[in-house]
A and B are shown apart, each in its own frame.
Chain A
Amino acid sequence: GEDVEQSLFLSVREGDSSVINCTYTDSSSTYLYWYKQEPGAGLQLLTYIFSNMDMKQDQRLTVLLNKKDKHLSLRIADTQTGDSAIYFCAFTSGTYKYIFGTGTRLKVLA
């Protein structure tokens, strides 16, 4: 089956940039997403990228996709304490069956 790996933890200082990485094995992925989950809450869609794109920027968020290396990253500029959460990458190949990464717990230090 598909395998999606993320680092479990990331700690950054407030105001610094955060980079959350995700590697995957399924080359048929067509839509790639980043979700944010705050404690005890559901998932909030942050941004997404189509597989034919290399980069997408949305305010403080930058998504980079390296299809050759099957690597997806999310960069959060000027990280704030409110960004502390778990971040999941997710993929679908158009069937609406989402495959989620293991999640990265981001902790922002004041």
Chain B
Amino acid sequence: GAVVSQHPSRVICKSGTSVKIECRSLDFQATTMFWYRQFPKKSLMLMATSNEGSKATYEQGVEKDKFLINHASLTLSTLTVTSAHPEDSSFYICSARDHPGQSSGNTIYFGEGSWLTVV
């Protein structure tokens, strides 16, 4: 089946630095990718919708300048947490939608998630 891979799976960074998380669709082209954040013992909250070749659409309350999203190709979207603070520590999950017309049929696939710890 279709696979979405995230990297790194775990990252620790110092407060004030930036960290990049990658989301790749391994065997299909993803026109749209989604970034979620999961707080401890909470549900997933959609942060932004990323469309290949255009600017991401952010959900209300999500800081665009802090969470930079780039979707430069049909198989890669990146989330960069800029000037990270301890409160940014969380589990970030991406998902990808395949390109219309491909055999996987417009299904959403989730990555394995990335743990970010800001110290």
Tell me the bound Cα distance from A79 to B57 in angstroms: 40
Contact B34 A102 (CB under 8 A): no
* Residue of chain A at shortest CB distance from B45: A100
Number of B residues whose C-beta is below 8 Å from A?
19
Question: Which residues from A are CB-within-8-Å of B46?
Answer: 97-98
- CB of B32 closer than 8 Å to a CB of A: yes
Main SS at interface, chain B: strand
Q: Which stretch from A13-21, A36-44, A66-74 is at the chain B interface?
A: A36-44
| B42 touching A41, Cβ below 8 Å | no
Other-chain contact of A43, B32, B93, B97 (Cβ < 8 Å):
B93
Contact with A along B82-119 (1 / 0, CB 8 A): 00000000010101010000000000101111010000
CB distance from A10 to the nearest CB of B (A): 14
Most chain A CB atoms below 10 A, which of B42, B44, B93, B95: B44
CB proximity to B under 8 Å, residues A90-107: 96-98, 100-103, 105
Is there an interface contact between A96 and B111, defined as CB atoms closer than 8 Å? no
Whether B44 lies near A96 (C-beta < 8 A) is no
CB A49 to nearest CB in B, in angstroms, measures: 14
B93 to chain A, nearest CB (A): 6
CA distance A61 to B73 in the complex (A): 37
Binary contact track B39-71/A, C-beta < 8 Å → 1, others 0: 001111010010000000000000000000000
A-B interface, 4 closest residue pairs, ranked by CB to CB distance from nearest? A42-B112, A43-B110, A42-B113, A100-B43
Residues of chain A at the chain B interface (Cβ within 8 Å): 4, 35, 40-45, 88, 96-98, 100-103, 105
Known: A43-B113, A97-B49, A103-B43. 8 other contacts (CB 8 A): A4-B43, A35-B110, A96-B97, A97-B46, A98-B95, A102-B42, A102-B43, A103-B42
